[in-house]
């Protein structure tokens, strides 16, 4: 079998890799902007961006050059020492977020794990218990603590599951009022649920959560791992709501493709933390921080957020126009370039047909096509997606008429 074929590399992966993923049957080799190429030379429009990671697209010059430059200078030193890229990134993120303290991680799950630890330390410091309240259909990662704050499906076979986690319905004010109490250390919520189906939180809900948490002495954690770093048209999703959490978790788009995460908190929370309470070997290394600095500076210096908002308005209008025509579309929801096309049937077959036509997307929550393209994507490229989507919608109509 030719080593240049998708099947060759797909089969090699099946032979060697732990079977944790149901991968697409293609082997990607190269990327540029919103384009990807597989080992056979087939081109794809990337509407997934590595699951909201490649916010500037693939191999963006600003990020690639920053990585190459830093790799020739200093890549890793451990957190026994200070590095210039980490100090500069800390200052920039705190300035833009309005938070007071930061801790760097390597991934989203690490960020949430750390946030839970910090919240419980704060709670115990104030003679409270460590209960964490989370939302139905939430997704915060796949470590033990993060699956404890997630769906039961992710917990099956991994018991005993860490205790002290209680779920409440998302966007349900009455449930929040009943469940959040003096026993609650923290409430964690995604301002826009990602894996749960691209569901934005209601403004009234987040405002009420802030009020309830403040009244009960609990911390409010915003998980912005998927919806942060410009994804919704604001640098932080919290800025759409005017709600200030006590802790924010970041990752995915923060490094422009390089693995890096962060925990941001206010001074109130930071006051409970002492040396040795938490740590990381690789988190905040100079190489990852250099990539993140380049990503953030490009977003902020090149008016990328207004670009996202403008494109989003046009794209939502186009998608809703199709919703009014085709009964298979139930709803269009999301914010910015974090978009869910809710179907009245399973979404995975649609995603596979898109891939056959040169578009990469993702199915989540059963019936939702998730679109999280690079923030640098153009209107012409989004129109290209719409053309493929229109073909599938037309095929659906024709199939129904035949039956």
Do 360 and 36 touch, CB atoms closer than 8 A? yes
Place of tokens 């040396």: 275
Cα 395 from Cα 122, distance rounded (Å):
56
Cα 285 from Cα 137, distance rounded (Å):
33
Structure tokens at 324: 């009014």
Closest among 265, 257, 249, 221 to 376, alpha carbons compared: 257
Pairing state between β 131-135 and 165-168: parallel
Place of tokens 């750390």: 114
Element (H, E) at 114: helix 108-125
CA dihedral in degrees (82, 109, 308, 328; nearest 10)? 170
- DSSP states along 272-331: T--TTSS--SSTT-HHHHHHHHHHHHHHHHTTHHHHHHHHHHHHHHHHHHHHTT-TTEEE
**DSSP bridge pairs for 402:** none
Give, as one character, the DSSP assignment of residue 363: E
- DSSP states along 139-204: ---SSHHHHHTS-GGGTTTSPSPPS-EEEE-TT-HHHHHHH--TTEEEEEE-SEETTTTSEEPPHH
Element (H, E) at 101: strand 101-105
Indicate which residues carry an active-site annotation.
139, 223, 252
Sign of the torsion formed by the C-alpha atoms of 6, 8, 14 and 17 = negative
128 φ, ψ (degrees, to nearest 5): -120, 170
Structure tokens at 204: 């009234």
Closest among 46, 59, 45, 112 to 294, alpha carbons compared: 59
């Amino acid at each position: 079998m030719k080593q240049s074929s998708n099947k060759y590399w797909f089969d090699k992966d099946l032979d060697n890799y732990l079977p944790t993923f149901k991968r697409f049957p293609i082997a990607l080799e190269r990327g540029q902007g919103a384009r990807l190429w597989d080992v056979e030379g087939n081109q794809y429009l990337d509407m997934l961006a590595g699951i909201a990671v490649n916010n500037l697209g693939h191999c963006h010059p600003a990020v690639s050059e920053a990585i190459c430059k830093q790799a020739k200078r200093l890549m890793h030193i451990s957190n026994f020492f200070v590095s210039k890229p980490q100090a500069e990134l800390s200052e920039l993120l705190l300035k833009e977020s309005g938070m007071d303290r930061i801790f760097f991680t390597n991934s989203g799950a690490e960020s949430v794990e750390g946030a839970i630890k910090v919240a419980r330390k704060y709670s115990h410091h104030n003679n409270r218990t460590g209960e964490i309240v989370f939302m139905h259909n939430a997704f915060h990662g796949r470590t033990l603590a993060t699956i404890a704050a997630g769906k039961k499906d992710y917990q099956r076979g991994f018991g005993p599951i860490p205790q002290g986690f209680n779920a409440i319905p998302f966007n349900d004010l009455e449930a929040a009022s009943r469940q959040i109490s003096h026993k609650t250390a923290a409430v964690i919520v995604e301002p826009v649920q990602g894996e749960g189906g691209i569901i934005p939180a209601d403004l009234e809900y987040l405002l009420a959560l802030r009020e309830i948490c403040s009244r009960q002495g609990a911390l409010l954690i915003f998980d912005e791992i998927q919806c942060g770093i410009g994804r919704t048209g604001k640098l932080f999703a919290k800025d759409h709501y005017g709600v200030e959490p006590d802790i924010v978790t970041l990752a995915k788009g923060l490094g422009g493709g390089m693995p890096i995460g962060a925990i941001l908190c206010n001074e109130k929370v930071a006051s409970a933390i002492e040396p040795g309470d938490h740590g990381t070997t690789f988190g905040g290394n100079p190489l990852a921080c250099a990539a993140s600095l380049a990503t953030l500076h490009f977003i902020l210096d090149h008016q990328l957020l207004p670009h996202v908002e403008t494109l989003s308005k046009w794209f939502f209008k186009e998608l809703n126009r199709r919703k009014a025509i085709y009964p298979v579309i139930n709803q269009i929801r999301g914010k910015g370039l974090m978009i869910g096309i809710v179907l009245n049937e399973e979404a995975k077959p649609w995603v596979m047909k898109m891939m056959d036509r040169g578009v990469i997307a993702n199915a989540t929550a059963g019936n939702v096509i998730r679109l999280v393209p690079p923030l640098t994507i153009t209107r012409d490229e989004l129109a290209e997606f719409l053309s493929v989507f229109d073909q599938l919608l037309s095929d659906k109509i024709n199939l129904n008429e035949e039956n």
